[in-house]
């Protein structure tokens, strides 16, 4: 359970936390929007201080009904954000959240990004898999149907868990054929799934072990949490932590989160429950 991130090996025998930095003006969780260099640097400093091991930078909001962002604008946002981060935190492990192969190539070649986090699972850009194979970077393979603008109209499944696992298995096989081996799988909570389907997937997370790939879970402050609790993203931290504990119990290796400190604490509690106290010496 190791993933190669540039010249480093990330040990996933114990769950790790990925912190979100959105260089966007319209992400669904307003406090996560970073539109100035100072805001970006404060966010990364907090992620590092609180124990996050990966920083995931996004320049395109994937919230439901999000407006399209031209490729040039996505590159512009990511470029100034990554330049700012690397100037102050040159050793930080960077992931970029994009479904565009041209954007992936730009951030890897220009800024040494170690991982591409693709909400489209290679379906929104037919060149993504070949690009990742050429660049030899780690890759997050996520399940989604449609696009952020249309996904909520594509929630008809016979068996949501079986269909998501089948999709991921088929796409994993294609990646392995191309020589991409550092792959994490993401069930895509909130992407083309109803509230009930999201919780069915959460309950069925142990089945994803069939894929024999590290599991990334991104549920932080999402609709599946705040809709269930009749609240909003700003008040969904407690519910998010509860879901994180269920995800850890289901085998999650990486939690992608807005609130790193709380997620790291959840991981510590989970490790203690499992009888693993080695984090006390970490």
Distance CA 267, CA 92 (A): 21
Our CA dihedral for 104, 108, 114, 120, rounded to 10 degrees, sits at 0
* DSSP three-state, residue 177: helix
3-state secondary structure string, 100-158?
CHHHHHHHHHHHCCCEEEECCCCCCCCCHHHHHHHHCCEEEEECCCCCCCCHHHCCCCC
Q: Which of 34, 100, 171, 222 is catalytic?
A: 222
Of these residues, 100, 193, 256, 268, which one is catalytic?
Answer: 256
Clarify whether 256 is annotated catalytic: yes
- 207 neighbors 214 (Cβ within 8 angstroms): no
Nearest alpha-carbon partner for 22 in 54, 57, 63: 57
Q: Which residues are catalytic?
A: 222, 256
């Amino acid at each position: 359970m190791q993933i190669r991130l540039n010249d480093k090996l990330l040990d996933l025998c114990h769950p790790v936390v990925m912190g979100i930095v959105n260089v966007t003006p319209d992400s669904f969780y307003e406090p996560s929007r970073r539109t100035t260099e100072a805001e970006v640097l404060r966010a990364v400093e907090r992620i590092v201080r609180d124990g996050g091991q990966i920083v995931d930078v996004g320049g395109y909001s994937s919230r439901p009904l999000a407006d399209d962002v031209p490729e040039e604008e996505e590159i512009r946002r990511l470029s100034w954000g990554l330049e700012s981060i690397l100037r102050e935190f040159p050793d930080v492990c960077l992931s970029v959240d994009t479904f565009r192969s041209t954007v992936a190539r730009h951030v890897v070649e220009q800024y040494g990004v170690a991982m591409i986090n693709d909400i489209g699972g290679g379906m929104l850009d037919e060149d993504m898999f070949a690009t990742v194979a050429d660049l030899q970077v780690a890759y997050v393979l996520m399940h989604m149907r449609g696009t952020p603008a249309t996904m909520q109209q594509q929630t008809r499944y016979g068996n949501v868990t079986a269909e998501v696992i089948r999709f991921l298995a088929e796409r994993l096989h294609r990646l392995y054929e191309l020589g991409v081996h550092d792959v994490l799988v993401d069930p895509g909570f909130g992407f083309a799934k109803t509230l009930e389907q999201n919780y069915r997937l959460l309950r069925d997370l142990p089945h994803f072990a069939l894929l024999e790939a590290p599991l990334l879970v991104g549920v932080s402050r999402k609709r599946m949490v705040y809709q269930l609790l009749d609240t909003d993203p700003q008040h969904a931290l407690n519910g998010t932590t509860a879901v994180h504990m269920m995800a850890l119990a289901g085998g999650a290796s990486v939690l992608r989160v807005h609130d790193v400190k709380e997620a790291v604490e959840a991981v510590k509690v989970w490790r203690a429950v499992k009888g693993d106290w080695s984090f006390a010496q970490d």
